[in-house]
Amino acid sequence: MIDLNKITTVIFTHLHYDHIGNFDLFPNSAFYASEEEIDSLEADRKGTILNKDIEDKFRIKLRKLAESIGPLEVIKSPGHTKGSVCFWYTFFSKKKKGRTDLPTSAPDEMGATLMRLLDYNPQIIASGHDY
């Protein structure tokens, strides 16, 4: 069972009531939403949240999402709301392309390998390590 007190990051795809209503289950978490969604909330709480009860209790500090957060790439996806976002889980982050400093590593081949893997249009890639 997950100890919700240990959750440190909660990311909202958008701020409708059915996506934020349980925010208070995470007392030790930082909360993130897109800048556009935060702007909508500040301009029109009622129209952004769409539920009076949640609107009344949703009084937390929201942090603006950057281009990525942890291993997740943030993809702006306006439509449902103008600040909606989706996430792309990258098995290698933009900063890390996989560890290639081991005795049998082939760092010169890593880039081509990653591009070849993308040709498979993967739905899920489970890397051998978390780096």
Extended strands (E) in the chain: 9-11, 30-33, 62-64, 68-69, 72-76, 85-89
48 touching Zn ion, by CB under 5 A: no
- Bridge partners of residue 88, in order along the sequence: 73
Residues 27 and 5 sit within 8 Å (Cβ to Cβ): yes
Least Cβ distance, residue 14 to Zn ion (angstroms): 5
Contact range with Zn ion by CB under 5 A, out of 16-24, 38-46, 62-70, 92-100:
16-24
Q: DSSP letter at 33?
A: E
In the complex, which residue's CB is closest to Zn ion?
16
Binding residue for Zn ion, selected from 13, 16, 49, 91, defined by CB under 5 A:
16
**Binding positions for Zn ion, rule: CB under 5 A:** 16
